[in-house]
């Protein structure tokens, strides 16, 4: 089964950088110059999120490299347990197992262009819940100086019985932690690349 994204879907993410589409969305929190909005999903009882902000210490090309370098991501992203590319039906997909805090089980995400999709090459593991409902879009551009203006839209249904307060805590604390880690990773990326070439 093939999963492709349309030009329109890419353009929708890109347009949000300059023209945020927030009708029906509620302001959730602001931290480190990043604003987070959420939209309640009646079907799941969970929220979809939109994140807008700037990473002032690293440019967009560097951000994209750091975000997409899976080998490096395993070194700096504390939520990664397993992350690798797989080929199927002529497409590249990413298998991602996410660490969840005790007492929750880890989750894994089978991602094809940032949307979950299950294929036989990665069967479910005992003790790890498969995330079957996940989507993400990310758009980044230069902020007009030496930083990166960013937009991210994401939703995931982690499955299991996770209390609402824990989901809200993760959304509020996870984004700042991730941004701090990403900025540090951007700073250290040139050194990492030079070691890999040796």
Whether the pTM exceeds 0.85: the reply is: no
Q: What is the mean pLDDT of residues 114-120?
A: 62
User: What residues are paired with 97 via a beta bridge?
Assistant: 82, 108
- Give the pLDDT confidence of 147-160 residue by residue, as tens digits: 999 888 888 888 77
Domain-wise residue ranges, the chain = 7-197
- CA–CA separation, 174 vs 66, rounded Å? 18
Supply angle C-alpha 49, 11, 172, rounded to 5: 15
Residue 42 CB partners (closer than 8 Å, separation 6+): none
Backbone angles phi, psi at 38, to 5 degrees: -140, 155
Joined tokens for residue 47: 């929220």
pLDDT above 70: percentage of residues in the chain: 88
Lateral strand order in the sheet of 129-131: 80-88, 91-98, 107-111, 129-131
Backbone phi, then psi, for 35, in 5-degree steps?
Answer: -100, 135
Over 70: is that where the pLDDT of 103 sits? no
Q: How far apart are the first and last CA of the chain?
A: 40
Q: Give me the CATH topology for the region 7-197.
A: Alpha-D-Glucose-1,6-Bisphosphate; Chain A, domain 4 (3.30.530)
């Amino acid at each position: 089964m093939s999963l492709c994204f349309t030009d329109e879907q890419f353009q929708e993410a890109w347009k949000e950088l300059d023209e945020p589409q927030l009708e029906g969305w509620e302001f959730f929190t602001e931290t480190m110059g990043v604003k987070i909005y959420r939209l309640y999903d009646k079907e799941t009882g969970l929220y979809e999120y939109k994140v807008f902000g700037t990473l002032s210490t690293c440019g967009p090309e560097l951000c994209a490299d750091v975000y997409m370098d899976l080998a490096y991501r395993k070194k700096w992203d504390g939520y990664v347990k397993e992350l690798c590319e797989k080929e199927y039906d002529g497409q590249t997909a990413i298998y991602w197992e996410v660490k969840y805090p005790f007492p929750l089980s880890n989750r894994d995400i089978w991602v094809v262009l940032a949307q979950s999709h299950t294929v036989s090459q990665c069967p479910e593991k005992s003790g790890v819940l498969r995330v079957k409902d996940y989507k993400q879009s990310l758009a980044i551009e230069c902020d007009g100086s030496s930083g990166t203006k960013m937009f991210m839209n994401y939703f995931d249904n982690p499955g299991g019985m996770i209390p609402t307060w824990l989901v809200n805590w993760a959304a509020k604390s996870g984004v700042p932690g991730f941004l701090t880690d990403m900025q540090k990773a951007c700073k250290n990326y040139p050194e990492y690349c030079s070691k890999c070439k040796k």
